[in-house]
Amino acid sequence: MEELSIPELTTEQIEELCSAAEKAARRHILSKVPSKMVEKLDISVGAEGAKPINLSIEVNLVLSPQTNSSDQAVLSAEAAKEALRASDLYLRKLK
């Protein structure tokens, strides 16, 4: 990903950034799978540093046994990508 020239983020902005990323990941998963098919969904977004800021995104997804188990890994990876896109959009708005 390209490096954005953004100002140093405040604590509130970092919280908003993490929240936007988490919501995007959750929204992506629930747009692909009905919530009743999701047995466990943990999304963790962490931010380190100020400039540059490093994000870590972890999506832990367990779908019900009726779904294809390979879908879990694919869906988790897609959700993490969506979280990155959302965080990129948030940071571009600050620029």
45-66 pLDDT, tens digit per residue, is 999 876 778 899 999 999 998 8
CATH number of this structure's domain 11-89, picked from the four choices 3.30.300.100, 1.20.1050.10, 3.40.50.150, 1.10.10.60? 3.30.300.100
Query: What CA–CA distance (Å, rounded) separates 38 from 53?
Result: 31
Contact call for residues 87 and 13 (beta carbons, < 8 A): no
Are 26 and 41 in contact, with CB atoms under 8 Å apart? yes
Q: What is the C-alpha separation between 93 and 30, in angstroms, rounded?
A: 26
Task: Convert the pLDDT of each residue in 2-17 to its tens digit.
Answer: 555 677 888 899 999 9
- Secondary structure (DSSP) of 1-65: -PPP--PPPPHHHHHHHHHHHHHHHHHHHHHHS-GGGEEEEEEEEEEE-SSS-EEEEEEEEEE-T
Angstrom distance (rounded) from CA 88 to CA 2: 10
Per-residue pLDDT reduced to its tens digit, 21-39: 999 999 999 999 999 999 9
User: What's the pLDDT tens digit per position in 61-92?
Assistant: 999 988 776 688 899 999 999 999 999 999 89
**Where are the chain's structural domains?**
11-89
